[in-house]
Structure 1
Amino acid sequence: MDTGNILLIHADYTRRATVIPGQHRWLASPQGGVDRVMLDRLGGERARATSLVRYAPGAHFPMHQHPGGEEILVLSGTFSADGEQYPAGSYLRNPPGSSHHPSSRDGAVLFVKLWQMTDDEQAALRIDTRDSTHWQDQGDRDICPLFSNKNEQVSLQHLAPEAVLSIDEAELLVLEGELLSDGLCFPRLSWLRLPPGDRLTLRASTHGATIYLKTGPQAYLSSLGAPC
Protein backbone atom coordinates (compact mmCIF):
# COMPACT_ATOMS: atom_id res chain seq x y z
CA MET A 1 0.00 0.00 0.00
CA ASP A 2 1.22 3.49 -0.82
CA THR A 3 1.11 5.07 2.64
CA GLY A 4 1.43 8.50 1.11
CA ASN A 5 -2.07 8.12 -0.31
CA ILE A 6 -3.84 7.13 2.91
CA LEU A 7 -6.83 9.33 3.69
CA LEU A 8 -8.19 9.63 7.21
CA ILE A 9 -11.72 11.05 7.14
CA HIS A 10 -13.83 10.48 10.27
CA ALA A 11 -11.63 7.43 10.79
CA ASP A 12 -11.89 7.46 14.60
CA TYR A 13 -14.90 5.29 15.42
CA THR A 14 -14.78 6.40 19.07
CA ARG A 15 -16.00 9.90 18.13
CA ARG A 16 -19.29 11.22 16.76
CA ALA A 17 -19.21 12.12 13.07
CA THR A 18 -21.76 14.19 11.16
CA VAL A 19 -21.90 15.48 7.60
CA ILE A 20 -24.79 17.66 6.43
CA PRO A 21 -25.52 18.51 2.77
CA GLY A 22 -23.91 21.95 3.02
CA GLN A 23 -20.64 20.16 3.79
CA HIS A 24 -20.78 17.78 0.83
CA ARG A 25 -17.70 18.05 -1.35
CA TRP A 26 -18.01 16.09 -4.57
CA LEU A 27 -14.63 14.81 -5.72
CA ALA A 28 -13.78 13.05 -8.95
CA SER A 29 -12.84 9.39 -8.67
CA PRO A 30 -10.11 7.86 -10.84
CA GLN A 31 -12.88 6.62 -13.15
CA GLY A 32 -14.27 9.33 -15.41
CA GLY A 33 -17.90 10.27 -14.80
CA VAL A 34 -17.97 8.94 -11.22
CA ASP A 35 -17.78 11.44 -8.33
CA ARG A 36 -18.07 10.88 -4.59
CA VAL A 37 -18.54 12.55 -1.24
CA MET A 38 -16.25 10.88 1.29
CA LEU A 39 -18.15 10.54 4.56
CA ASP A 40 -15.57 8.36 6.28
CA ARG A 41 -12.44 6.78 4.91
CA LEU A 42 -9.33 4.90 6.00
CA GLY A 43 -7.02 4.11 3.10
CA GLY A 44 -6.25 5.19 -0.44
CA GLU A 45 -8.16 4.01 -3.50
CA ARG A 46 -8.61 0.65 -1.76
CA ALA A 47 -10.10 1.81 1.51
CA ARG A 48 -12.52 1.12 4.28
CA ALA A 49 -14.96 3.83 3.31
CA THR A 50 -18.47 5.24 3.44
CA SER A 51 -19.42 7.50 0.55
CA LEU A 52 -22.10 9.06 -1.57
CA VAL A 53 -21.28 8.06 -5.15
CA ARG A 54 -22.65 9.78 -8.25
CA TYR A 55 -22.59 8.18 -11.69
CA ALA A 56 -23.00 10.46 -14.70
CA PRO A 57 -25.09 8.98 -17.55
CA GLY A 58 -23.04 6.30 -19.26
CA ALA A 59 -20.37 6.13 -16.55
CA HIS A 60 -18.94 2.75 -15.60
CA PHE A 61 -16.18 1.01 -13.70
CA PRO A 62 -14.20 -1.91 -15.12
CA MET A 63 -14.64 -5.31 -13.51
CA HIS A 64 -13.13 -5.24 -10.03
CA GLN A 65 -13.17 -7.15 -6.75
CA HIS A 66 -14.27 -6.15 -3.26
CA PRO A 67 -12.09 -8.18 -0.85
CA GLY A 68 -13.81 -6.56 2.16
CA GLY A 69 -17.32 -6.57 0.73
CA GLU A 70 -19.58 -3.77 -0.48
CA GLU A 71 -22.96 -2.44 0.68
CA ILE A 72 -25.05 -0.26 -1.67
CA LEU A 73 -28.33 1.63 -1.35
CA VAL A 74 -29.50 3.21 -4.62
CA LEU A 75 -30.75 6.70 -3.76
CA SER A 76 -31.77 7.92 -7.23
CA GLY A 77 -31.54 6.87 -10.86
CA THR A 78 -30.73 3.31 -11.91
CA PHE A 79 -27.56 1.43 -11.05
CA SER A 80 -26.44 -1.51 -13.19
CA ALA A 81 -24.11 -4.40 -12.46
CA ASP A 82 -23.40 -7.49 -14.52
CA GLY A 83 -26.54 -7.15 -16.64
CA GLU A 84 -28.94 -6.47 -13.76
CA GLN A 85 -30.76 -3.13 -13.28
CA TYR A 86 -31.27 -1.70 -9.79
CA PRO A 87 -33.60 1.33 -9.53
CA ALA A 88 -33.83 3.77 -6.63
CA GLY A 89 -34.71 1.90 -3.44
CA SER A 90 -32.58 -1.15 -4.26
CA TYR A 91 -30.39 -2.49 -1.45
CA LEU A 92 -27.39 -4.68 -2.31
CA ARG A 93 -24.76 -6.50 -0.27
CA ASN A 94 -21.81 -8.00 -2.15
CA PRO A 95 -19.84 -10.26 0.23
CA PRO A 96 -16.06 -10.24 0.71
CA GLY A 97 -14.27 -11.62 -2.34
CA SER A 98 -17.08 -10.76 -4.76
CA SER A 99 -16.56 -8.85 -8.00
CA HIS A 100 -18.74 -6.88 -10.40
CA HIS A 101 -18.78 -4.53 -13.41
CA PRO A 102 -20.90 -1.53 -12.32
CA SER A 103 -22.35 1.18 -14.54
CA SER A 104 -25.31 3.50 -15.01
CA ARG A 105 -26.87 4.23 -18.38
CA ASP A 106 -28.94 7.22 -17.25
CA GLY A 107 -27.05 8.22 -14.09
CA ALA A 108 -27.47 7.31 -10.42
CA VAL A 109 -26.61 8.37 -6.88
CA LEU A 110 -25.64 5.66 -4.38
CA PHE A 111 -24.83 5.31 -0.69
CA VAL A 112 -21.86 2.93 -0.57
CA LYS A 113 -19.95 1.24 2.25
CA LEU A 114 -16.72 -0.60 1.43
CA TRP A 115 -14.53 -3.04 3.36
CA GLN A 116 -16.86 -3.16 6.38
CA MET A 117 -17.97 -6.80 6.35
CA THR A 118 -16.58 -9.76 8.26
CA ASP A 119 -15.24 -12.76 6.38
CA ASP A 120 -18.09 -15.01 7.52
CA GLU A 121 -20.58 -13.04 5.39
CA GLN A 122 -20.72 -15.06 2.19
CA ALA A 123 -24.11 -14.57 0.53
CA ALA A 124 -25.07 -11.78 -1.86
CA LEU A 125 -28.26 -9.93 -0.95
CA ARG A 126 -30.71 -7.98 -3.11
CA ILE A 127 -33.81 -6.24 -1.66
CA ASP A 128 -36.27 -3.99 -3.46
CA THR A 129 -37.38 -1.67 -0.66
CA ARG A 130 -40.20 -0.32 -2.86
CA ASP A 131 -41.99 -3.64 -2.31
CA SER A 132 -44.51 -3.03 0.48
CA THR A 133 -44.29 -6.67 1.62
CA HIS A 134 -40.82 -5.95 3.04
CA TRP A 135 -42.20 -3.32 5.44
CA GLN A 136 -43.54 -3.83 8.98
CA ASP A 137 -45.88 -1.49 10.85
CA GLN A 138 -44.32 -0.60 14.21
CA GLY A 139 -46.73 2.08 15.43
CA ASP A 140 -45.12 5.48 14.87
CA ARG A 141 -42.85 4.05 12.17
CA ASP A 142 -42.72 1.49 9.37
CA ILE A 143 -39.56 -0.62 9.25
CA CYS A 144 -37.96 -2.47 6.34
CA PRO A 145 -35.35 -4.91 7.77
CA LEU A 146 -32.41 -5.26 5.41
CA PHE A 147 -29.71 -7.27 7.18
CA SER A 148 -28.84 -8.58 10.63
CA ASN A 149 -25.96 -10.48 12.21
CA LYS A 150 -23.95 -10.30 15.44
CA ASN A 151 -22.17 -7.13 14.29
CA GLU A 152 -24.91 -5.01 12.79
CA GLN A 153 -28.60 -4.59 12.18
CA VAL A 154 -29.57 -2.59 9.08
CA SER A 155 -33.01 -1.23 8.19
CA LEU A 156 -34.91 1.53 6.47
CA GLN A 157 -37.44 3.35 8.62
CA HIS A 158 -40.34 5.64 7.74
CA LEU A 159 -40.85 7.84 10.82
CA ALA A 160 -44.27 9.40 11.36
CA PRO A 161 -44.43 13.19 11.83
CA GLU A 162 -42.68 14.14 15.09
CA ALA A 163 -41.82 10.51 15.90
CA VAL A 164 -38.89 10.25 18.35
CA LEU A 165 -35.78 8.19 17.59
CA SER A 166 -33.10 7.49 20.24
CA ILE A 167 -29.84 6.01 18.96
CA ASP A 168 -26.53 4.87 20.44
CA GLU A 169 -23.74 3.06 18.59
CA ALA A 170 -25.47 3.71 15.30
CA GLU A 171 -25.11 5.18 11.85
CA LEU A 172 -27.87 6.81 9.83
CA LEU A 173 -28.48 8.58 6.55
CA VAL A 174 -31.55 10.78 6.11
CA LEU A 175 -33.26 9.68 2.89
CA GLU A 176 -36.33 11.93 2.97
CA GLY A 177 -37.63 14.68 5.26
CA GLU A 178 -35.72 16.06 8.23
CA LEU A 179 -34.56 15.03 11.69
CA LEU A 180 -34.29 17.58 14.51
CA SER A 181 -32.24 17.55 17.72
CA ASP A 182 -31.55 20.36 20.21
CA GLY A 183 -32.02 23.10 17.65
CA LEU A 184 -30.06 21.24 14.96
CA CYS A 185 -31.63 20.20 11.67
CA PHE A 186 -30.50 17.20 9.65
CA PRO A 187 -32.11 17.41 6.18
CA ARG A 188 -32.08 14.89 3.36
CA LEU A 189 -28.67 13.26 2.78
CA SER A 190 -27.37 14.17 6.23
CA TRP A 191 -25.13 11.43 7.65
CA LEU A 192 -24.44 10.69 11.33
CA ARG A 193 -22.34 8.07 13.10
CA LEU A 194 -22.39 7.63 16.90
CA PRO A 195 -19.90 5.59 18.95
CA PRO A 196 -20.89 3.45 21.96
CA GLY A 197 -22.18 5.51 24.87
CA ASP A 198 -23.00 8.56 22.76
CA ARG A 199 -26.79 8.63 22.86
CA LEU A 200 -28.69 11.06 20.68
CA THR A 201 -32.44 11.72 20.61
CA LEU A 202 -33.85 12.87 17.30
CA ARG A 203 -37.35 13.86 16.24
CA ALA A 204 -38.84 13.68 12.78
CA SER A 205 -40.13 16.96 11.37
CA THR A 206 -43.83 17.68 10.99
CA HIS A 207 -43.64 16.00 7.58
CA GLY A 208 -41.97 12.84 8.91
CA ALA A 209 -38.68 11.35 7.74
CA THR A 210 -37.24 8.26 6.09
CA ILE A 211 -33.83 6.99 7.18
CA TYR A 212 -31.25 4.28 6.61
CA LEU A 213 -30.23 3.03 10.07
CA LYS A 214 -27.38 0.72 11.06
CA THR A 215 -27.03 -0.26 14.72
CA GLY A 216 -24.76 -2.67 16.59
CA PRO A 217 -21.19 -2.94 17.86
CA GLN A 218 -19.62 -0.89 15.08
CA ALA A 219 -16.57 -0.13 17.23
CA TYR A 220 -14.96 -3.39 16.10
CA LEU A 221 -14.20 -1.62 12.83
CA SER A 222 -11.72 0.69 14.54
CA SER A 223 -9.44 -2.27 15.23
CA LEU A 224 -9.21 -3.24 11.57
CA GLY A 225 -6.06 -2.26 9.72
CA ALA A 226 -6.31 -0.14 6.60
CA PRO A 227 -6.81 -2.29 3.50
CA CYS A 228 -3.81 -2.42 1.22
Structure 2
Amino acid sequence: MLINADFTLPAVVAPHEYQWVASPQAGVERVMLDRVGAEKARATSIVRYAPNSFFPSHQHPGGEEILVLSGTFSDEGADYPAGWYLRNPPGSSHRPSSAEGTTIFVKLQQMPDSEHHRVRINTRDPSNWHRQGSREVCPLFADDSEQVSLHRLGANELLYNKLLQGFELLVLEGSVTADGQTYEIGSWLRLPAGQHLDVVAGKQGTTVYLKIGHLVHPEVEV
Protein backbone atom coordinates (compact mmCIF):
# COMPACT_ATOMS: atom_id res chain seq x y z
CA MET A 1 0.00 0.00 0.00
CA LEU A 2 1.32 3.42 -0.97
CA ILE A 3 -0.20 6.62 0.47
CA ASN A 4 1.67 9.93 0.07
CA ALA A 5 4.68 7.66 -0.46
CA ASP A 6 6.75 10.00 -2.67
CA PHE A 7 8.75 11.93 -0.08
CA THR A 8 10.05 14.36 -2.70
CA LEU A 9 6.53 15.83 -3.00
CA PRO A 10 4.53 17.98 -0.57
CA ALA A 11 1.59 16.26 1.13
CA VAL A 12 -1.39 17.71 2.99
CA VAL A 13 -4.32 16.05 4.76
CA ALA A 14 -6.94 18.34 6.31
CA PRO A 15 -9.58 17.08 8.81
CA HIS A 16 -12.40 17.22 6.23
CA GLU A 17 -10.34 14.78 4.14
CA TYR A 18 -9.94 12.19 6.91
CA GLN A 19 -10.88 8.70 5.79
CA TRP A 20 -11.23 6.44 8.81
CA VAL A 21 -10.23 2.85 8.04
CA ALA A 22 -10.81 -0.10 10.37
CA SER A 23 -7.70 -1.79 11.71
CA PRO A 24 -7.42 -5.58 12.21
CA GLN A 25 -8.40 -5.03 15.84
CA ALA A 26 -12.03 -4.29 16.75
CA GLY A 27 -12.56 -0.78 18.12
CA VAL A 28 -9.38 0.68 16.59
CA GLU A 29 -9.47 2.69 13.38
CA ARG A 30 -7.06 5.05 11.68
CA VAL A 31 -6.54 7.78 9.13
CA MET A 32 -3.53 6.95 6.97
CA LEU A 33 -1.52 10.11 6.34
CA ASP A 34 1.43 8.42 4.67
CA ARG A 35 2.17 4.75 4.30
CA VAL A 36 4.63 2.44 2.58
CA GLY A 37 3.73 -1.21 3.11
CA ALA A 38 0.82 -3.42 4.14
CA GLU A 39 -0.20 -4.01 7.77
CA LYS A 40 3.41 -3.86 8.94
CA ALA A 41 4.40 -0.59 7.28
CA ARG A 42 6.39 2.58 7.49
CA ALA A 43 3.41 4.73 8.39
CA THR A 44 2.15 8.02 9.77
CA SER A 45 -1.43 7.90 11.04
CA ILE A 46 -4.11 9.35 13.26
CA VAL A 47 -5.39 6.38 15.30
CA ARG A 48 -8.64 6.29 17.29
CA TYR A 49 -9.35 3.78 20.06
CA ALA A 50 -12.95 3.24 21.17
CA PRO A 51 -13.47 2.88 24.95
CA ASN A 52 -12.15 -0.44 26.30
CA SER A 53 -10.32 -1.30 23.08
CA PHE A 54 -6.78 -2.61 22.77
CA PHE A 55 -4.19 -4.06 20.44
CA PRO A 56 -2.66 -7.47 21.29
CA SER A 57 0.98 -7.43 22.32
CA HIS A 58 3.21 -6.80 19.31
CA GLN A 59 6.70 -5.59 18.41
CA HIS A 60 7.89 -2.49 16.60
CA PRO A 61 11.14 -3.39 14.82
CA GLY A 62 11.46 0.16 13.46
CA GLY A 63 10.25 1.96 16.58
CA GLU A 64 7.11 3.96 17.32
CA GLU A 65 6.46 7.65 18.04
CA ILE A 66 3.18 8.74 19.65
CA LEU A 67 1.54 12.04 20.59
CA VAL A 68 -1.71 11.66 22.56
CA LEU A 69 -4.26 14.07 21.09
CA SER A 70 -7.31 13.31 23.24
CA GLY A 71 -8.56 10.88 25.86
CA THR A 72 -6.13 8.60 27.70
CA PHE A 73 -3.74 6.15 26.06
CA SER A 74 -2.45 3.23 28.13
CA ASP A 75 0.84 1.47 27.47
CA GLU A 76 2.70 -1.12 29.54
CA GLY A 77 0.79 -0.41 32.75
CA ALA A 78 0.96 3.40 32.54
CA ASP A 79 -1.76 5.87 31.54
CA TYR A 80 -0.98 8.86 29.33
CA PRO A 81 -3.63 11.60 29.03
CA ALA A 82 -3.78 14.07 26.15
CA GLY A 83 -0.52 15.93 25.69
CA TRP A 84 1.88 13.09 26.41
CA TYR A 85 4.66 12.33 23.90
CA LEU A 86 6.11 8.82 23.73
CA ARG A 87 8.92 7.15 21.80
CA ASN A 88 9.33 3.37 21.88
CA PRO A 89 12.68 2.41 20.30
CA PRO A 90 13.27 -0.25 17.64
CA GLY A 91 12.76 -3.77 18.96
CA SER A 92 10.34 -2.70 21.71
CA SER A 93 6.99 -4.39 22.24
CA HIS A 94 3.77 -3.44 24.00
CA ARG A 95 0.01 -4.00 24.39
CA PRO A 96 -1.56 -0.56 23.89
CA SER A 97 -5.10 0.08 25.08
CA SER A 98 -7.56 2.73 26.23
CA ALA A 99 -10.28 2.41 28.85
CA GLU A 100 -11.98 5.75 28.11
CA GLY A 101 -11.05 6.00 24.42
CA THR A 102 -8.27 8.03 22.84
CA THR A 103 -6.99 9.57 19.63
CA ILE A 104 -3.26 9.54 18.97
CA PHE A 105 -0.83 10.66 16.28
CA VAL A 106 1.47 7.76 15.44
CA LYS A 107 4.63 7.26 13.38
CA LEU A 108 5.86 3.69 12.82
CA GLN A 109 9.12 2.19 11.54
CA GLN A 110 10.90 5.51 11.15
CA MET A 111 13.69 5.21 13.73
CA PRO A 112 17.30 4.09 13.19
CA ASP A 113 18.49 0.90 14.86
CA SER A 114 20.88 3.04 16.91
CA GLU A 115 17.99 4.56 18.90
CA HIS A 116 17.63 2.72 22.21
CA HIS A 117 15.94 4.98 24.77
CA ARG A 118 12.27 5.32 25.65
CA VAL A 119 10.96 8.88 25.84
CA ARG A 120 8.02 10.04 27.96
CA ILE A 121 7.26 13.80 28.05
CA ASN A 122 4.16 15.54 29.39
CA THR A 123 3.73 18.54 27.09
CA ARG A 124 1.01 19.91 29.39
CA ASP A 125 3.65 20.46 32.09
CA PRO A 126 4.71 24.15 31.88
CA SER A 127 8.22 23.27 33.03
CA ASN A 128 8.81 21.46 29.71
CA TRP A 129 8.26 24.67 27.73
CA HIS A 130 10.94 27.29 27.08
CA ARG A 131 10.79 30.77 25.65
CA GLN A 132 12.57 31.23 22.31
CA GLY A 133 12.17 34.81 21.21
CA SER A 134 8.47 35.56 20.85
CA ARG A 135 7.37 31.91 20.94
CA GLU A 136 7.30 29.01 23.37
CA VAL A 137 8.90 25.68 22.47
CA CYS A 138 8.60 22.24 24.04
CA PRO A 139 11.57 20.08 22.89
CA LEU A 140 10.65 16.41 22.48
CA PHE A 141 13.56 14.68 20.77
CA ALA A 142 16.73 15.52 18.85
CA ASP A 143 19.56 13.58 17.26
CA ASP A 144 21.77 13.93 14.17
CA SER A 145 18.91 13.17 11.78
CA GLU A 146 15.80 14.81 13.23
CA GLN A 147 14.47 17.35 15.71
CA VAL A 148 10.96 17.07 17.17
CA SER A 149 9.24 19.79 19.19
CA LEU A 150 5.99 21.61 19.85
CA HIS A 151 5.79 25.32 19.00
CA ARG A 152 3.31 27.80 20.44
CA LEU A 153 3.06 30.89 18.23
CA GLY A 154 1.26 34.18 18.65
CA ALA A 155 -1.24 35.61 16.17
CA ASN A 156 0.12 35.95 12.61
CA GLU A 157 3.60 34.80 13.66
CA LEU A 158 5.78 33.15 11.01
CA LEU A 159 6.84 29.62 11.92
CA TYR A 160 10.26 29.93 10.26
CA ASN A 161 11.90 32.51 8.02
CA LYS A 162 14.68 30.23 6.82
CA LEU A 163 14.86 27.24 4.50
CA LEU A 164 14.33 24.08 6.52
CA GLN A 165 15.57 20.66 5.46
CA GLY A 166 12.00 19.55 5.01
CA PHE A 167 9.38 19.46 7.76
CA GLU A 168 6.32 17.63 9.00
CA LEU A 169 3.66 19.57 10.88
CA LEU A 170 0.44 18.73 12.74
CA VAL A 171 -1.82 21.56 13.89
CA LEU A 172 -2.74 20.97 17.53
CA GLU A 173 -4.45 24.26 18.44
CA GLY A 174 -5.67 27.25 16.45
CA SER A 175 -4.83 27.32 12.76
CA VAL A 176 -2.05 28.08 10.32
CA THR A 177 -1.99 29.60 6.86
CA ALA A 178 0.29 28.27 4.13
CA ASP A 179 0.32 29.18 0.44
CA GLY A 180 -2.94 31.07 0.85
CA GLN A 181 -4.76 28.13 2.46
CA THR A 182 -5.91 27.95 6.09
CA TYR A 183 -5.41 24.72 7.97
CA GLU A 184 -7.35 24.07 11.17
CA ILE A 185 -6.73 21.71 14.12
CA GLY A 186 -5.87 18.23 12.91
CA SER A 187 -4.31 19.33 9.62
CA TRP A 188 -1.11 17.51 8.65
CA LEU A 189 1.46 18.97 6.27
CA ARG A 190 4.70 17.47 4.95
CA LEU A 191 7.17 19.51 2.90
CA PRO A 192 10.23 17.84 1.32
CA ALA A 193 13.78 19.01 1.75
CA GLY A 194 14.84 21.73 -0.68
CA GLN A 195 11.44 23.45 -0.82
CA HIS A 196 10.22 26.48 1.11
CA LEU A 197 6.76 27.29 2.39
CA ASP A 198 5.78 30.19 4.65
CA VAL A 199 3.63 28.86 7.49
CA VAL A 200 1.94 31.59 9.53
CA ALA A 201 -0.11 31.27 12.71
CA GLY A 202 -3.77 32.20 12.49
CA LYS A 203 -5.42 35.18 14.16
CA GLN A 204 -5.81 33.29 17.44
CA GLY A 205 -2.28 31.89 17.39
CA THR A 206 -1.45 28.22 17.08
CA THR A 207 0.32 25.25 18.63
CA VAL A 208 1.94 22.77 16.25
CA TYR A 209 3.91 19.54 16.35
CA LEU A 210 7.00 20.03 14.18
CA LYS A 211 9.54 17.48 12.96
CA ILE A 212 12.46 18.64 10.83
CA GLY A 213 15.54 17.05 9.29
CA HIS A 214 14.10 13.56 8.74
CA LEU A 215 13.19 14.17 5.09
CA VAL A 216 16.69 14.99 3.82
CA HIS A 217 17.41 11.33 3.00
CA PRO A 218 14.33 9.38 4.06
CA GLU A 219 14.98 5.65 4.19
CA VAL A 220 11.88 4.15 2.61
CA GLU A 221 11.57 0.54 1.53
CA VAL A 222 8.95 0.05 -1.19
Q: If the TM-score is normalised by the length of the shorter chain, which range does it land in?
A: over 0.9
Tell me which residue corresponds to 2:5: 11
User: How far apart, CA to CA, are the structure 2 residues paired with 1:27 and 1:158?
Assistant: 31
- The CA RMSD measured in Å over matched residues stands at 1.0
The question of whether the paired residues in 2 share the 8 Å contact of 1:70 and 1:93 is answered with yes
1:225 correspondence with 2:221: yes
Q: Secondary structure at the match of 2:44?
A: strand
The question of whether the paired residues in 2 share the 8 Å contact of 1:174 and 1:191 is answered with yes
User: How far apart, CA to CA, are the structure 2 residues paired with 1:216 and 1:73?
Assistant: 19
Tell me which residue corresponds to 1:32: 26
Pick the aligned partner of 1:63 from 43, 57, 63: 57
User: What is the deviation of 1:181?
Assistant: 2.4
Alignment TM-score, normalising by the size of structure 1? 0.94
User: How far apart, CA to CA, are the structure 1 residues paired with 2:100 and 2:128?
Assistant: 27
Can you list the C-alpha shifts for 1:61-101, whole angstroms capped at 9, x where unaligned? 01000000000000000000111000000000000000001
Tell me which residue corresponds to 1:97: 91
User: How far apart, CA to CA, are the structure 2 residues paired with 1:161 and 1:137?
Assistant: 16
Segments of 4+ in structure 1 off by > 2 A? none
Pick the aligned partner of 2:203 from 202, 206, 221: 206
Alignment TM-score, normalising by the size of structure 2? 0.96
Tell me which residue corresponds to 1:145: 139
Tell me which residue corresponds to 2:173: 176
The question of whether the paired residues in 2 share the 8 Å contact of 1:53 and 1:109 is answered with yes
User: What is the deviation of 1:22?
Assistant: 1.0
User: How far apart, CA to CA, are the structure 2 residues paired with 1:182 and 1:8?
Assistant: 26
Tell me which residue corresponds to 2:104: 110
Q: Percent identity?
A: 56
1:84 correspondence with 2:78: yes
Letter in 2 for 1:13: F
The question of whether the paired residues in 1 share the 8 Å contact of 2:30 and 2:47 is answered with yes
User: What is the deviation of 1:202?
Assistant: 1.3
